[in-house]
Amino acid sequence: MKIVVGLGNPGQEYSATRHNIGFMAVDKLAERWAVTAWRERYNAAVAEYRGKETVLLVKPQTFMNLSGRAIVPLAAFYKVPYEDIIVIYDDLDLPTGRLRLRLKGGSGGHRGIESLLFESGKDDFARIRIGIGRPPEGWETANYVLGRFSPEEASAISQAISQADDAVECIIKEGFNKAMNKFNKG
């Protein structure tokens, strides 16, 4: 079994914000796999995909800064080792629409990842970071990440979400190293 987690904030007011790109990617993956049966479990929206391997799609409902409080109990309940967890989230340090896959490491200042690292004590999970770019001059970071994508960004974001979902499928079928070689460009 694998767990694919999209990080974001619950609630309609956050649904299409930059900080919720992880939720958007998991929703598109669910759509791609025709998964529609979501349920609440351990402070998360959870759905199962049964292919050659069962994949648990997860959207923590704890708010970003407490994401680990949803992920850790789910991993324990399903007995999934952290190396079989893939986390998709936004990254301010990457240009809008750029993808970067990484295995292990720190949080890079991302509060959702900080929470997972703190709650689990582990860092050996796969990360798919989707670039949202830096805020324009004069913008506060919090307002920027909780803001919506501009029409000019829409195409790049849509493509990045699709690539992130392709990367998830590649990790599951071919392993993390092949996915990293294929999707870490530029």
Exactly one of 2, 18, 19, 59 is catalytic; name it: 19
159: enclosing H helix or E strand? helix 151-174
What angle (nearest 5°) sits at the alpha carbon of residue 159, between those of residues 154 and 164?
125
| Residues in contact with 13: Cβ distance below 8 Å, sequence separation at least 6, in sequence order | none
Q: Specify whether 19 is catalytic.
A: yes
How far apart, in whole angstroms, are the C-alpha atoms of residue 75 and residue 95? 31
Q: Which tokens sit at 144?
A: 């920027």
Are 62 and 70 spatial neighbours (Cβ–Cβ below 8 Å)? yes
Strands (E), 13-146: 39-41, 44-50, 54-60, 85-91, 99-103, 126-131
So which residues are the catalytic ones?
A: 19
